């Protein structure tokens, strides 16, 4: 798969062009032929004009990229390597809302062919890719995993607004449904990630790693916020406390402040 993509015989399709999907699509488009797909027609029209609807990326980032933006399902039939980057929010009862992910799986299943790859980047709980998404792909396409197509999971690690830790400078976790899938997926992502690739042993391990990354950050900052309130009442400077505690080699510095964003708060 990697070699065919590199020779531009095959194409990559990125499903979901939000603050995660669009940067990934544009990065891939430096080296591969890319189809950027989103169900929001107005967003697609803006991107066709070189405008990022999220206002994260400069117009110059669109220049010289081998990418076509579309909301037409039929255009996806030209792709062989699908990357899913749709949101996975929670509902009013804090239950994961998988509708965007399920919808994307149905969409891909309708155009899935023998030899294709499907890689999920959306933040999910361990088991979601294989237990929730895979059955939809098989049912919609009439194909079988392993015999006809392969899947993988590579959690997004984009830090929106960060001009230093850009997508290519953040080490990427990848996983695959079998050894061949893992190697091919690692090579494809390795083309755009200079920081390196970490090959997780299973898809579930990769899914779980993403969840605890977010959970750990949420909990540690939340803890410091609580401690800051207590220290303030005691007349103690929180920053001084953290600096003092940080003199021990195994103390990890977290500072009080805002914690949240699109995905951090939904994972714990």
Contact 154, 174 (CB under 8 A): yes
* Other Cβ atoms closer than 10 A to 216: 14
pLDDT digits (tens, 9 = 90+) for 229-258: 999 999 999 999 999 999 999 999 999 988
Every domain range in the chain assigned CATH 3.40.50.720:
2-201
What is the pairing mode between strands 33-37 and 11-15? parallel
Distance CA 196, CA 186 (A): 10
Check residues 127 and 55 and name the one with the higher pLDDT.
127
Which is catalytic among the residues 86, 128, 263, 266? Answer: 263
What's the distance, CA 151 to chain centroid?
15
Distance CA 230, CA 238 (A): 9
Active-site annotation holds for 263: yes
Contact 16, 87 (CB under 8 A): yes
Token pair recorded at residue 161: 């607004």
Domain 2-201: CATH class, spelled out: alpha beta
Contact 228, 187 (CB under 8 A): no
For 81-93, what is the mean pLDDT? 90
**Residue 177 CB-density burial (10 A; 0-12 exposed, 13-18 middle, 19+ buried):** buried
Mean of all residue pLDDT scores within the chain: 92
Distance CA 221, CA 227 (A): 10
Task: Tell me if the pTM is above 0.85.
Answer: yes
């Amino acid at each position: 798969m990697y070699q065919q993509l590199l020779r531009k015989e095959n194409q990559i399709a990125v499903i979901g062009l939000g603050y995660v999907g669009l940067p990934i699509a544009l990065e891939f488009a430096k080296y591969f032929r890319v189809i950027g797909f989103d169900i929001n027609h107005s967003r697609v029209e803006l991107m066709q004009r070189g405008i990022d609807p999220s206002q994260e990326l400069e117009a110059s980032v669109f220049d010289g990229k081998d990418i076509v933006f579309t909301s037409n399902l039929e255009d996806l039939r030209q792709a062989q390597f699908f990357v899913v980057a749709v949101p996975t929010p929670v509902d009013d009862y804090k239950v994961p809302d998988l509708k965007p992910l399920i919808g994307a799986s149905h969409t891909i299943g309708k155009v899935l062919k023998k030899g294709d790859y499907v890689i999920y980047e959306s933040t999910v709980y361990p088991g979601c890719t294989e237990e929730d998404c895979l059955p939809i792909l098989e049912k919609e396409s009439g194909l079988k995993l392993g015999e006809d197509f392969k899947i993988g999971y590579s959690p997004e690690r984009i830090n929106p607004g960060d001009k230093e830790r850009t997508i290519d400078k953040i080490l990427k976790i990848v996983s695959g449904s079998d050894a061949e899938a893992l190697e091919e997926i690692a090579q494809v992502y390795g083309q755009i990630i200079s920081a390196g690739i970490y090959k997780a042993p299973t898809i579930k391990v990769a899914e779980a790693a993403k969840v605890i990354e977010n959970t750990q950050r949420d909990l540690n900052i939340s803890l410091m916020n609580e401690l800051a309130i207590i220290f303030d009442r005691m007349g103690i400077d929180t920053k001084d406390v953290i600096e003092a505690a940080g003199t021990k080699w195994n103390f990890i510095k977290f500072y009080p402040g805002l914690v949240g964003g699109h995905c951090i708060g939904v994972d714990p």
